[in-house]
Amino acid sequence: MLKRITVLVSGRGSNLGALVEASRDPRYPAAVTHVVSNKRDAGGLAIARANAIATSVVEHTAHATREAFDAALAAAVDASEPDLVVLAGFMRVLTPAFVARYAGRLLNVHPSLLPAYPGLHTHRRALADGVRLAGCTVHFVTSEVDVGPIVAQAAVPVRDDDDEDSLAARVLAEEHRVLPAAVAWFCAGRIALHGARVRVQDALIPQAALVVPSPAAD
């Protein structure tokens, strides 16, 4: 039986698109069955509609408190009966009550190598610090923002001529690989939590280090 994924989006929805693409493979163990957005004009909603996926809009502006918004959000998510909830560019801080409700089945994708650069403007901050490696993280959500057991990360080089847009694009391409992979592992029952650490059954762990810049081959 395919696992049911509900995806929460606030914007463009390219990670949602990557999940939908991945799930076209008949071996993929899950399907995106519902998309919820806090923004009526989110691009992610258009992607869902184009793929005949059910949608809900729960606008944070229509709720007086964070708690009221999260209660309405939880009602929409519960109605979609998900096995897994994925935050894919969902730009609202969630209350501890919401996070506890989906504990162990709530994943987030974040555009940095956590625990470096939680929060906003990750690429701008990485460039300002002159780091040589950037990347993305898929992790279980806990009540602290951008903290929680890490399922997978991808690292990319920072090039000397990078700006925020070029670095963001390089990292986003990796988000589109790592998120569908992490979701598939979860839905196939291959992820085990050991305290703060995650083990993934039958996944490859590369031996090689990514060194940036690398010594020339000559």
Residue nearest to ligand GAR (CB): 89
For CA atoms 158, 119, 136, 46, the dihedral sign is: negative
Instruction: Give Cα 82 to chain centroid, integer Å.
Output: 16
- The Cα–Cα gap between 75 and 207 comes to 44
- The Cα–Cα gap between 43 and 50 comes to 11
State the binding string over 90-109 for ligand GAR (x if CB under 6 A, else -).
-------------------x
| Active site (annotated) includes residue 110 | yes
Q: Considering the complex, what minimum distance in angstroms separates the CB of residue 136 from ligand GAR?
A: 6
Q: Return the number of the residue (42 or 184) whose C-beta is nearest ligand GAR.
A: 42
DSSP annotation of 201: T
The CA-based dihedral angle spanning residues 1, 70, 168, 156, taken in that order and rounded to the nearest 10 degrees? -60
Q: Which residue type sits at 17?
A: G
3-state SS class at 77:
helix
Q: Return the number of the residue (167 or 172) whose C-beta is nearest ligand GAR.
A: 172
Please, what's the b/e burial string for 50-74 (b: 16 or more CB within 10 A of its CB; e: otherwise)? Answer: eeebebbebebeebeeeeebbbbbb
Question: According to CB under 6 A, which one of 22, 141, 172, 187 is a site residue for ligand GAR?
Answer: 172
Q: Return the number of the residue (21 or 81) whose C-beta is nearest ligand GAR.
A: 21
| Active-site position among 34, 60, 63, 110 | 110
Q: Return the number of the residue (117 or 185) whose C-beta is nearest ligand GAR.
A: 117
Residue 35 as a binder of ligand GAR (CB under 6 A): the answer is no
State the binding string over 1-20 for ligand GAR (x if CB under 6 A, else -).
--------x-xxxxx-----
Q: Point out which residues bind ligand GAR (CB under 6 A).
A: 9, 11-15, 44, 88-89, 109-111, 146, 172, 175
